[in-house]
């Protein structure tokens, strides 16, 4: 394996993995081999979904269905490469960051929430109110206040939020995601190559595994939100569940 295939773990901005790149190396010195055709096939599937999007009548149900198909494509890539990553069930290091989500992802998430028990929904509602109060406080420290419905506002405040070290409202006491099947895209692509200790507050930064598939999926999720939900905003997960958004 050539040195060109080895990422610089001190560089927080690992470039997108090129299609055709045979392997990269994780912090244990283990090669993470990219199966032949995996990335190419995933990009083709995403491209097919993107091409038919403009011809479809706007529909919440159709939008939810397309999001699930996007997530399935992304999850297939993640599953085949996961053994080379540092992430393990119960780690939950990424579950305290500000996750940018679209309207469509929030609607899909809410569908899953509504299937759960009243006890669970009540508990989550309380935690969501607490997180939104914290988000509002952090946003209000900026002049003018940061807009948490836009990406630049999230970027302004994400570091401050992470320093608060508050878990996602849907993280269980066992450090497992309680809405795993309906989790947003960014939760699905948060694969880390570096030592898990780099994910802890004050350490790192971790180097995350990125491919053109993840970038293309992210773009397509945004297009689905605009076309099927008529909403171009991005917000932290709890922010969508404010009363004025009419979700939940």
Q: Kindly give the confidence (pLDDT) of every residue in the chain, 248 residues in length, as a single tens digit, with 9 standing for 90 and above.
A: 333 444 443 344 444 444 444 567 788 888 888 888 898 999 999 999 999 999 999 999 999 999 999 999 999 999 998 888 888 888 898 999 999 999 999 999 999 999 999 999 999 999 999 999 999 999 999 999 999 999 999 999 999 999 999 999 999 999 999 999 999 999 999 888 888 888 887 787 888 888 889 999 999 999 999 999 999 999 999 999 999 999 87
Q: φ and ψ at 192, to 5 degrees?
A: -115, 135
In angstroms, the Cα distances linking 19 to 40, 42, 43, 123, 128 are 7, 11, 10, 44, 39
- Total domains in the chain come to 1
Q: Which domain holds residue 209?
A: 3-245
């Amino acid at each position: 394996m050539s040195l060109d295939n080895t990422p610089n773990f001190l560089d927080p901005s690992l470039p997108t993995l090129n299609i055709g790149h045979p392997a990269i190396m994780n912090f244990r010195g283990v090669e993470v081999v990219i199966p032949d055709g995996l990335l190419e096939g995933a990009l083709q599937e995403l491209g097919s979904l993107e091409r038919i999007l403009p011809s479809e009548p706007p529909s919440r149900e159709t939008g939810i269905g397309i999001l699930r198909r996007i997530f399935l494509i992304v999850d297939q890539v993640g599953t085949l490469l996961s053994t080379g990553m540092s992430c393990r069930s119960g780690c939950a290091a990424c579950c305290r960051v500000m996750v940018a989500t679209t309207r469509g992802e929030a609607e899909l998430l809410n569908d899953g929430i509504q299937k759960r028990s009243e006890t669970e929904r009540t508990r989550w509602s309380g935690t969501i109110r607490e997180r939104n109060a914290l988000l509002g406080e952090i946003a209000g420290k900026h002049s003018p206040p940061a807009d948490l419905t836009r990406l630049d506002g999230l970027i302004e405040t994400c570091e401050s939020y992470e320093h608060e070290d508050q878990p996602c409202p849907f993280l269980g006491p066992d450090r497992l995601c309680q809405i795993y099947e309906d989790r947003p895209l960014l939760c699905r692509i948060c694969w880390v190559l570096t030592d898990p200790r780099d994910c802890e507050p004050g350490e790192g930064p971790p180097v995350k595994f990125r491919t053109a598939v993840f970038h293309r999926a992210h773009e397509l999720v945004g297009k689905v939100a605009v076309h099927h939900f008529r909403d171009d905003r991005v917000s932290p997960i709890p922010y969508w569940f404010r009363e004025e958004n009419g979700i939940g």
